[in-house]
Structure 1
């Protein structure tokens, strides 16, 4: 009886943790379908609207390394509970926000909570497992939950926006998070704290530098590239990011081990990943508005319209390990960048009379194949040759690269669109924005060719991660 009870207790604990992971994974995408409604109700500008997804991504990516370190220092359960509590409170704040400022502030706090709770999810799954079989089962469930987060987030966000209000795409986190908080403290034992110093200066300069850089691009769209606010923002961002690397170089216990950046192929992989994820974020941001504002799709239908994207990635991704062994990551990354660029060429000709099939569907599937060719090979290129003792740091660096790169890419393309758009005519400016996205995507191909090794690396260095949720 007691053995059955223990098994049931572990199953409930694992379900609780995975539910939290699904909630955190969905949060970037669940508001995406609601963006047109949010813009109408709160009065966002076209460029300012990009802060709704970006505020979360920047806070999450910028604070991710610090969140992981805090879990090690003070205990993973404590970090998880505090992170979820902050996330839930911020979700409530965002759900009742009446101004753009309050919603953006809530999204920042959501990202901060996710950065604290997110790294503890994998740690708790690992420590709860009694043997390697349970550990592998837990990791497999973690990857599956993270992957379906894309589809679930878009569909659930569309359904809530259609049937209730866009506010419920945030408020839904409150009851779910409350149940997670109640159960986790009763079911999971605290991990052993590992006293260490927290690199606060590094965390602040990295996060603030990224935020100010994104703000600089948005300021350029709204006030012009030569405006004092734009120039000052770029200068402050550069100073903060340079300070971050100087701090990490001399810190006794840095957030980022700069030795990880001594590898040319790894740096190349990080650049390629950041570019493609950034262009992917920008596609999601603009196409969801096109589907609703031009094609007249309801929010739920707009969410369902992305299913070919997710289905294609899931279909193509399983073949990636074999292709990496045969060809190495470099040609796959290069081809992925070309396909993503070609998809933007297709999106660039969308107009007021275009139909979902084939005008949106075909570029969407091409885009999906491209990002599938980048994600797994890019992960392998980044993780190849990482010593075991630095695997966690490299994993955190990869996740931070994707979140911050995604936010920056979205800010750039949103700024280009806002600078060439006409109020009340959504399709004006789309061609320019997608043309720029195509050129930037080709840059990823050039970086891959110049930096990533041609030979096939060991697949054993690949580390599973939840970033597929964005696809």
Structure 2
């Protein structure tokens, strides 16, 4: 019976995690339709995505600490109800302003949902084999969710209406709330003084960084607003880190990050997102602008990537995580991703069979690599912390994912635009498609290099033999003899 309840927790938390990730991309393909219906300008349409990213990324650490204070189950239920109401507001809105407000509110409640969901999974699955399977499922949902969002958004927009890209969350929430009733109750809420200065500096710092990343594609890295936001974000995060060293109850205990094992895991979670989200951007334009795919066909073209992520996360990483040191699985997986990126460099537009010969193999390699990397990385990043800090560690995982994705989209988009302009200057007679593809090649080369550098960083930072500690265990506990089953070999 207890085993059944554990998998019930995974199904419930997983459905919420999928919903949160879906909403990062589900409106992307719907943007032309909703822009036309609500009379949005080209300049303002990016806020449909940015409003969600800003609130979500900025409030994650605060959401994680609230989960630790009042309990992950209560935080999870509160996040679900708020997310449904915000989705209804955004989906039924008659004006662009209310749509932006609804999307921002979705981000606020996603910042409660995501760390609470991961904290519940981390605290529930402590046996290495089951933990590997659970985090394999979580990794599949996290990695494939953005891809599924593109496919779902295209389908709903083409066959129903763009509003269903947002309203679809309401029935998902209702089903997930039924799952919450089958969970064990939280421990009593603790009266703990919240680190308000830490909350302020982290929210302001992360919001400024995410805001800068959403603006850099249109303004460029040298724009005064972008530079000011980057400076503000960096300075606020410095204030945050210094404050966490002296706070009685820090939002993010520095021990969570400074441990070499978890530090390497956070690198393996966050840095690949720079390459992945830029890859989404490049492939979206390749499919629709160069190959002439319709929105629904472009969404379907991403489907093998989602399937490969699922296979890598569950069938491969889920089985190998309990048997291998985390580094021994993460590093090869990152190199496989880099090989997939490299396969897309140097493609000649107009070549017959491009999807089957280049794009499909690349998606399979990138998907398998991502799935095999994210499962042990997330499991390691949330292991070995006390019960009172599981929400904070879970929030940090989501924060590095969100920031990595935002930076990656802006970085690779800027590199692609700069390289395309440079190619046009060198050869003014080249056609527009060739110039665009030259920009894509530069972006993909950068993405492949980032993945190789991440693999090197993980080798340097993460110990070769990594032990996954059960929730609540400390380093002192690890010095005591423990059953061999508790070790990752």
Give the TM-score band, short-chain normalised.
Answer: 0.7 to 0.9
Q: Deviations over 1:426-454 (max 9, x none)?
A: 64632222222222222212211221212
Contact 1:248 1:258 in 2 (8 A): yes
For structure 2, list consecutive stretches of 5 or more residues without a partner in the other structure: 1-6, 422-430, 473-489
| CA deviation vs aligned residue, 1:208-255 (integer Å, no higher than 9, x gap) | 212322333454443343332232222111111111112222222111
Alignment correspondent of 2:235: 239
Alpha-carbon spacing, 1:186–1:279, altered in 2? closer, same or farther (3 Å):
closer
Q: Runs of 5+ in structure 1 lacking a partner?
A: 1-10, 464-471
Counterpart-to-counterpart distance in 1, 2:231 and 2:57: 21
The residue that corresponds to 1:24 in the other structure is 20
Query: Which residue of 2 is the match for residue 5 of structure 1?
Result: none
Q: Deviations over 1:100-151 (max 9, x none)?
A: 776555433212111223444567899999xx9xx99x97998599467556
1:320 aligns with 2:317: yes
- Rounded to whole Å, the distance in 2 between the matches of 1:101 and 1:349 is 43
Number of residue pairs matched by the alignment: 447
Once superposed, what is the RMSD of the aligned Cα atoms? Answer: 4.3
Alignment of 1:84-233 (within 5 A): 84-95=80-91, 103-121=99-117, 143=138, 146=141, 149=145, 152-174=148-170, 176-177=172-173, 191=186, 192-233=188-229
Corresponding position: 1:436 with 2:432: no
Contact 2:115 2:391 in 1 (8 A): no
Match of 2:250 in 1: 254
- How big is the shift at 1:424? 8.1
2:344 partner SS: helix
Relative to structure 1, the CA distance from residue 61 to residue 237 in structure 2 (aligned partners, 3 Å threshold; closer, same or farther) is: closer
Partner of 1:364: 363
The offset of 1:152, in angstroms, is 4.9
Q: Give the deviation of 1:177 after TM superposition.
A: 4.2
**Superposition TM-score, scaled by structure 1 size:** 0.77
Kept after mapping to 2: 8 A contact 1:31/1:169:
yes
Which deviates further from its counterpart, 432-441 or 27-36? 27-36
Cα deviation, residue 274, structure 1: 0.7
8 A contact 1:160–1:168 mirrored in 2: yes
How far apart are the structure 2 equivalents of 1:38 and 1:439?
37
Q: Are the counterparts in 2 of residues 36 and 293 from structure 1 also a CA contact under 8 Å?
A: no
Report the equivalent of 2:350. Answer: 353
Compute the TM-score of the two structures, normalised by the length of structure 2: 0.75
Q: Which has the higher mean CA deviation after the structures are superposed, 268-277 or 384-393?
A: 384-393
CA distance in 2, matches of 1:190, 1:288: 44
**3-state SS of the aligned residue for 1:399?**
helix
CA distance in 2, matches of 1:221, 1:390: 36
Contact 2:69 2:192 survives alignment (8 Å)? yes
C-alpha separation between the residues in 2 aligned to 1:79 and 1:273?
Answer: 24
- Measured against aligned partners, the alpha-carbon deviations of 1:303-355 in whole angstroms (never above 9, x if no partner) come to 22222222223333333366556663334333233222232223333454253
Residues 305, 364 of structure 2: 8 Å contact kept: yes
Residue in structure 1 matched with residue 63 of structure 2 by the alignment: 67
Kept after mapping to 2: 8 A contact 1:61/1:402: no
Change (3 A) 1:65 1:339: same
CA contact (8 A) 1:202 1:248 kept: yes
